[in-house]
Amino acid sequence: MLGVAIISFIAAMALALVLTPLVKKFAHKVGAVDVPNHRKVHTTTMPRLGGLAIYSAFTIGLLVMMPWVPEGLLSAYDRNLISALLVGGTVIVLLGALDDRFDLNAKLKLLVQIGAACIVVFGYGVKINLLNIPFGSAIQPLGEWVSIAITIVWIVGVTNAINLIDGLDGLAAGVSGIAIATILVMGIVMGNEAVILLATLLLGSIGGFLFFNFHPAKIFMGDSGALFLGFALATLSMLGFKQITIVSFVTPLLIIGVPLSDTFFAIIRRWVQKKPIFEADKGHLHHCLQQLGFSHRKTVLIIYAIAAFFGTCAVIQSSVSSKGFGNWITFIVICALVFLLQIGAELIGIVDKTRRPVLDFLARLRMKPQTDSRK
């Protein structure tokens, strides 16, 4: 399987390198371009639809490599996972491509995303059935409809989370690649051949596309790419819920910690500022870092590092979750990350530029001994 995985990665990357320039020409021809406005950081009209190159490289690579996978290596569930990602992903890419060209209504996009999630759940039976919740019993079974609802919300939420961070050259592609690399490492540890195959194909496709997408970008992935990568991450990360004896409830959240935390802070920010939750703004993580004076490239690299940190935490946490002290490690990881996220959010002003409750509290604690000593 290792040989198949390596060849899959190389083949997908080569395909993406060949297909991306062709997609760029196609995007210009059909008018799928991104025009600069007050919210955009780019100053020239850029072709979108880059997600078609990622999707095509992944799909062609998958169809070519599947016959080389040894018979009996993939279980029925594995084949369902592959089919669900392929069919549901096709629906998502078509939706994103149409949005790249015609700017579809948000409600229509949400309905189609729910439909794609339903394909995964009802068409192929891929859903979250069991959770391993810290300090609960070893296995928490879910009722049928609860399982379906959680799975659909998870897929739709993660799909849109990747789309929200797609604001700088190479940002969404790189963060997605780091998350998929994390899933690949966990797939190797678990011996999950389906996940290894899918993750290597996705990584190769992203790597080839990033050659044209990293700053200064020659093409954007658009909604076709951001939505597809989000959908792929949502589907693949559900392996964390499937492998209940190894991976705990929080692991999939850590894998995609950057887009999920950015989405969470965006919701809080708009609620605090009394703005509609779905109204776009320039308060996302990458905007805040640029406002602090970091260059375009440095901002992207900083967020890459944060994503890698989350991925490392996910791998470490998953490796200890099956041990006797796993629940305590999970609890410590959650508390530490929540504290660090809050500190980071206050430092860069991602929610509010003036309200810093935790930092102000820590500052008062540091000043109190000095005040006491003067008495």
Which residues line the annotated binding site? Answer: 163, 223
Contacts of 232 (CB under 8 A, 6+ apart): 85, 89, 176, 180, 198, 202
Cα–Cα dist 310/318, whole Å: 12
DSSP 217: P
φ and ψ at residue 47, rounded to 5 degrees: -70, 140
What kind and span of H or E run contains 83? helix 76-102
- In the numeric block, the tokens 């708009």 are attached to 270
Residue type, 25: K
Cα–Cα dist 24/218, whole Å: 8
Contacts of 334 (CB under 8 A, 6+ apart): 134, 250
Cβ-contact 93, 230 below 8 angstroms: no
Cβ-contact 99, 214 below 8 angstroms: no
Of 224, 101, 225, 218, nearest in space to 174 by CA: 225
Cβ-contact 206, 229 below 8 angstroms: yes
Residue type, 69: V
Mapped onto helix, strand or coil, the DSSP state of residue 222 is helix
Instruction: For residue 36, give both structure tokens.
Output: 């600069």
Alpha carbon of 56 to those of 90, 114, 224, 308: distances in Å?
10, 23, 11, 26
Cα–Cα dist 224/346, whole Å: 33
Which parts are annotated binding residues for Mg(2+)? 163, 223
φ and ψ at residue 155, rounded to 5 degrees: -65, -45
Cβ-contact 178, 311 below 8 angstroms: yes
Cα Rg of the chain, angstroms = 21
